[in-house]
Structure 1
């Protein structure tokens, strides 16, 4: 899985490292994805929530990746960040 994650291995960084990372660093990009997902998950409307989750994955997560983002990669990154499982289209 580590090779599939590629640059997204930055999700292993501690919460403190993510909070203090430079925005354009890989860890900073992962932190941006994490914030976008937390915000998306707080949306009550299920359709709007799914759209926000998809947007976070296609924008922030894809920007941090140096390889294609698959269902398994999303599941692993979300797990490393302590995010709950969510559907992946």
Structure 2
């Protein structure tokens, strides 16, 4: 017996229905659903807007964006002249 017992959830559900009422809960559910739909739509349009921008950048540089870039170079050791005072 703990918080996950079905009897506890039933009591919590009854209390919530009595406090808020079924009409208010129905409106709350539809509002949450509309908010999720709006969020998904905004994310999809944002990704669609970014896709053409990425393609034009890749075309300008001549290499695809997902390819690794390497830099060739040669390391040289630099020694500072040491002056001694005897």
The two structures have a TM-score, normalised by structure 1, of 0.26
Task: Point out the structure with max Rg over C-alpha.
Answer: 2
More relative contact order, 1 or 2 (CA 8 Å, 6+ apart): 1
| Larger fraction in helix | 1
